[in-house]
Amino acid sequence: MPVRYPDPDVVVLDPRFQPLVLGLAAIERIATGFRFTEGPAWFGDGRYLVFADVPNDALMRWDEVNGSVAVLRSPAGNPDGNTRDREGRLITCELGSRTLTRTEHDGTVTVLASHFEGTRLTGPNDVVVKSDGTIWFSDNGAGIRGNYLGDKAPQEMPFRVYRLDPATGALTVAIDDMARPNGLCFSPDESRLYVVDTPVAPKLTRVYDIVDGKAMNGRLFFDANPGHADGLRCDTQGNVWCGFSGGPGQDGVAVFAPDGTLIGRILLPERCANVCFGGRKRNRLFMAASQSVYALYVEAQGVPGG
């Protein structure tokens, strides 16, 4: 059914969101029929989107040119969050294998992290790459809580955010004051790191200052309870675009200004787990939402590394 412009499900809550909305663009469902989608990552050089179907243990590929969907890799360790490093390689959080992996240009898979100080990771969840090449990822046990997203297992250590230097292999704790760290992204100048915390309650999003490669001064960025964010990405103006769950009227994407004000929503018929920017001009927002993947052209561009 055609959508009358402007799309009524793109909701302006603050005047700062209006310039980011295109009046002649509608939300499109570009792929469906999955169990739980996550981790969209854009490959501009090939004009395709990679995303995860976590319970089906598959990395999927959507082709922008012809709209086709294909399995990129399965089994894939129950993949969750994805991004690209600064050399264009796919970085994947695997809930089932409880590893952080890198897919090389020839298709081979390299395990980047599996243990911390001799203890197995609880399950990398989401990931972002800084301009210096370091990889920051959350480890929150989503795959060990049951047998749907991974393999049920006891929790052996705290949930944390880690920083990996792939040049040396050094893995260090970046954040250890969260109950269950989840989605994360850097501000455009990389002076801030936004991290979602998703315990049973309350679910909050925090922001940290990045000083000499360390996350410091953690504080509240926004509290949108009873709804909550999951994966998130930043645009070049510093706005934070969050996959969001909260029921009808909230499911989809919530957009926050750099000061933490909710400025807009993109409403979807499904809860949204994660987002990324892509397309030829990096102005197309891709939304991994439960059983489907959606897309929307916006007047914003995503920052690299997410």
The catalytic residue positions are 230
34: its two tokens: 């999955």
**Which residues make up each annotated binding site for substrate?**
125
Query: Reading across the β-sheet that carries 79-84, which strands appear in turn?
Result: 79-84, 90-94, 99-103, 109-113
**Which residues make up each annotated binding site?**
38, 125, 182, 230
Q: Is 169 left (phi over 0), alpha (psi -120 to 50) or beta?
A: left
Can you tell me the distance from the alpha carbon of 113 to that of 92, in angstroms, rounded to the nearest whole number? 11
In single-letter form, the type of residue at position 275 comes to V
Can you tell me the distance from the alpha carbon of 296 to that of 286, in angstroms, rounded to the nearest whole number? 7
**Which residues make up each annotated binding site for a divalent metal cation?**
38, 182, 230
- Beta strand 292-297 pairing with 284-289: antiparallel
CB crowding 216-247: b at 16 or more within 10 Å, else e: eebeebbebeebbbbbbbbbeeebbbbbbbbe
Q: Reduced to 3 states, what is the DSSP secondary structure of residue 163?
A: strand
CA angle 241, 218, 278 (to 5 degrees): 20
In single-letter form, the type of residue at position 79 comes to P
Q: DSSP string spanning 32-55?
A: E--S-EEEEEEETTTTEEEEEETT
